[in-house]
Amino acid sequence: MQRGLEIVLLFANIIAISNGSPEHCKPKVAIIGGGIGGASAGHFISELFENVVDIDLFEANKIGGRLATVMLQNNQYEAGGSIIHNRNQLMKDFSELLGLQRRPSSTADLYGVWNGDEFIFQESNYEVMTLAKLIYRYGMDPVHLYRYVNSVLDDFDKIYELQNDRRGFVNVTELLAAMNPNFPKMLQISMKDQLKNLGYSDRFIDELVKATLVVNYGQETDVQSFVGCVSVAGAGSALWSVKGGNRKVAEGLINKHQHIRTRPYIVEKITYNSEYDWSTQMLSSPNYPYTLTYRKKGEPNVQIDKYDIVIIATPLTSDQGMSIAFANFPNNEDFIFPGSYQTTYATFIEGQLNTTYFGVDESIQGILSCNPEKTIISSVGKLSSVEGEDSNVWKIFTRESLSSEMITKMFSKVNDKSSPIEYEWKAYPKYSINDKPGNFKLHKALYHENAIEWAASAMEMSAIGGRNVAILAYNDYTDRCTRLKGFRSTQRKLNSKIEL
């Protein structure tokens, strides 16, 4: 009787080995969010596991997330993230990998800074003249700031080598400190105080630096200084975008891997299986630590599925439209995410700008506000389509919905065939020096890519965040899998001693 039981256990173990597939370590992964962060995570986790992985990517809306376009008169225009810096290595790599063409920013468009009463600064057609005007008003501050921001970018570039070496970081502070030990301190001082401590003038900070923050983040110089430097870098000249729309990067990364299945569902809840034994995972299939509850938008019926790894690539603050509940975790307080996102309105209008209202000549095609309380607008800019074609379409950023009265004042003529289109975005975090840097790793195999946004929100930051959580997930899973293989090896040795 005893020997018969041993034979049954032996065969049961052989079946468990073949069904559980610990030898192959093929995880089942859920990625929640189809923006650039989720696409980056899916791409890199596929590469790390050499495509021996199953991925469900949940996106209830369009792939691309905040990399969206708007259609106006049969042409598309960038509505969300629109510019890429020439030093954004991952976005460059993605574009080359996918065979996407660059669409350089127009160097012919001239910008001016407006305070509501006058233009305090206007670009010239000649770079030398523009520099002379800058120095005349601000001294050497613009030159010094250019050098300072470039030194920040030099240290920032270290993240690429660290990630090439498969270094993953469990929280934002660790990631920033790996680039430069002083970077975490930049989260604790405002951009204004940081620059004042470095000797920059109030006029320069309150005009030019503030204008970049108003247009890029809808906020002012009281934001923490790391995101302030990202904002200034984004006002440089070495900028470009993807021909056909930046969302093509997210779409391309997801479509590149056949084992990534896009699922048009809203994830409502993540439940932890507290009885899951992490030391003997995959002993019996299916045995997973996490269960996702999800449904289609507008439908009441819910579905569930189970996963080895869950990557959240969407904001988790309480002001988001689609929140995720966390159930059965040992420390549910870890899933309370403070802070909120800045609401920004992007209005697209085809027409003729009323230059008299702004007190400027027609050569100016971009207006940046350094006093949004008075100007109402954060910026106004003339657009080219995602294909690079010239147009009479303007994009206006505001903190509140733009009234029809304001549109009438700002435009002398509006195309009757195309009504203004308004996009309301929870575009980026509301930054302050009181923000607590978040964690990328929320639980043993549960990760949050968007934690990186609280350092700075940008396409490249999201791509780096996606790669970081992919590295974390890979390292954690293969470590457990390696330990399990050792456990298996011991089992086989014991089983071989059983007398048949």
pLDDT classification of 23: cutoffs 50, 70, 90: very low
pLDDT value at position 337? 92
pLDDT value at position 106? 62
pLDDT value at position 74? 87
Of 36-40, 181-185, 384-388, the range with the lowest mean pLDDT is 384-388
C-alpha–C-alpha distance, residues 54 and 46, integer Å: 9
Q: Are 84 and 150 in contact (CB under 8 A)?
A: no
Written as six digits, the tokens of 74 are 């049969």
Choose the final residue of a domain: 404, 429, 454. Answer: 429
Secondary structure of residue 361 in the 3-state scheme: coil
Q: What is the mean pLDDT of residues 411-420?
A: 86
Task: Decide if pLDDT at 378 tops 90.
Answer: yes
pLDDT classification of 357: cutoffs 50, 70, 90: very high
pLDDT classification of 17: cutoffs 50, 70, 90: very low
C-alpha–C-alpha distance, residues 258 and 54, integer Å: 10
5-14 long-range Cβ contacts below 8 angstroms, 24+ apart: 6/498, 7/498, 7/500, 10/495, 10/498, 10/500, 13/491, 13/495
Domain hosting residue 214, numbered range? 74-244+340-429
Question: Using one digit for the tens of pLDDT, what is the confidence trace for 425-435?
Answer: 898 999 999 99
- Candidates 234, 285, 218, 335; CA nearest to 26 is 285
Question: Using one digit for the tens of pLDDT, what is the confidence trace for 301-318?
Answer: 999 999 999 999 999 999
Q: What is the mean pLDDT of residues 113-119?
A: 95
Question: Using one digit for the tens of pLDDT, what is the confidence trace for 175-216?
Answer: 999 999 999 999 999 999 999 999 999 999 999 999 999 999
- Looking at the domain assignment, is residue 7 inside a domain? yes
Q: For residues 125 and 145, state if they share a domain.
A: yes
Choose the final residue of a domain: 429, 445, 471. Answer: 429
Task: Decide if pLDDT at 406 tops 70.
Answer: yes
Q: For residues 210 and 240, state if they share a domain.
A: yes
Task: Decide if pLDDT at 42 tops 90.
Answer: yes
pLDDT classification of 3: cutoffs 50, 70, 90: very low
Task: Decide if pLDDT at 499 tops 80.
Answer: no
pLDDT value at position 333? 67
Other CB atoms within 10 Å distance of the CB of residue 289? 22
**Percent share of the chain, pLDDT over 70:** 89
Q: What is the mean pLDDT of residues 445-454?
A: 97
Task: Decide if pLDDT at 360 tops 60.
Answer: yes
**Percent share of the chain, pLDDT over 90:** 74
- Candidates 484, 445, 469, 440; CA nearest to 289 is 445
pLDDT value at position 107? 53
Task: Decide if pLDDT at 403 tops 60.
Answer: yes
Secondary structure of residue 425 in the 3-state scheme: strand
pLDDT value at position 322? 80
C-alpha–C-alpha distance, residues 393 and 440, integer Å: 39
- Greater pLDDT, 256 or 23: 256
- Looking at the domain assignment, is residue 168 inside a domain? yes
- Candidates 438, 434, 433, 267; CA nearest to 336 is 438
Kindly give, in sequence order, each residue whose CB lies less than 8 Å from that of residue 100, ignoring residues fewer than 6 positions away.
94, 242, 243, 244, 248, 249, 252
pLDDT value at position 434? 94
- Looking at the domain assignment, is residue 69 inside a domain? no
- Phi, psi dihedral angles at 306 (to 5 degrees): -120, 150
Q: For residues 52 and 82, state if they share a domain.
A: no
Q: Are 253 and 40 in contact (CB under 8 A)?
A: yes
Choose the final residue of a domain: 400, 429, 458. Answer: 429
Of 14-18, 113-117, 342-346, the range with the lowest mean pLDDT is 14-18
Quote the DSSP letter at residue 334. Answer: G
Q: For residues 234 and 300, state if they share a domain.
A: no
Q: For residues 217 and 253, state if they share a domain.
A: no
Question: Using one digit for the tens of pLDDT, what is the confidence trace for 65-85?
Answer: 989 899 988 899 999 888 999
Q: For residues 112 and 142, state if they share a domain.
A: yes
Question: Using one digit for the tens of pLDDT, what is the confidence trace for 164-177?
Answer: 999 999 999 999 99
Q: Which residues are registered as beta bridge partners of 269? A: 293, 325
C-alpha–C-alpha distance, residues 39 and 449, integer Å: 11
Q: For residues 344 and 326, state if they share a domain.
A: no
Count of domains observed in the chain: 2
Q: For residues 201 and 89, state if they share a domain.
A: yes
- Greater pLDDT, 154 or 281: 154
Question: Using one digit for the tens of pLDDT, what is the confidence trace for 210-260?
Answer: 999 999 999 999 999 999 999 999 887 678 999 999 999 999 999 999 999
Q: For residues 279 and 417, state if they share a domain.
A: no
pTM, rounded to two decimals? 0.91
Q: For residues 326 and 352, state if they share a domain.
A: no
Using a 10 angstrom Cβ sphere, with 0-12 exposed, 13-18 middle and 19 or more buried, the burial of residue 267 is buried
Residue with tokens 């391309």: 252
Q: What is the mean pLDDT of residues 471-486?
A: 85
Average pLDDT of the chain?
Answer: 89
Could you write out the three-class secondary structure of 29-70? Answer: EEEECCCHHHHHHHHHHHHHCCCCCEEEEECCCCCCCCCCEE
Q: For residues 122 and 182, state if they share a domain.
A: yes
CATH number at residue 485: 3.50.50.60
pLDDT value at position 24? 53
Q: For residues 251 and 238, state if they share a domain.
A: no
pLDDT value at position 125? 86
Distance of CA 339 to the CA centre of its chain: 17
Q: Are 377 and 398 in contact (CB under 8 A)?
A: yes
Written as six digits, the tokens of 137 are 């008003």
Task: Decide if pLDDT at 358 tops 70.
Answer: yes
- Looking at the domain assignment, is residue 415 inside a domain? yes
- Looking at the domain assignment, is residue 448 inside a domain? yes
Element containing residue 474 per DSSP (H, E) = helix 459-496
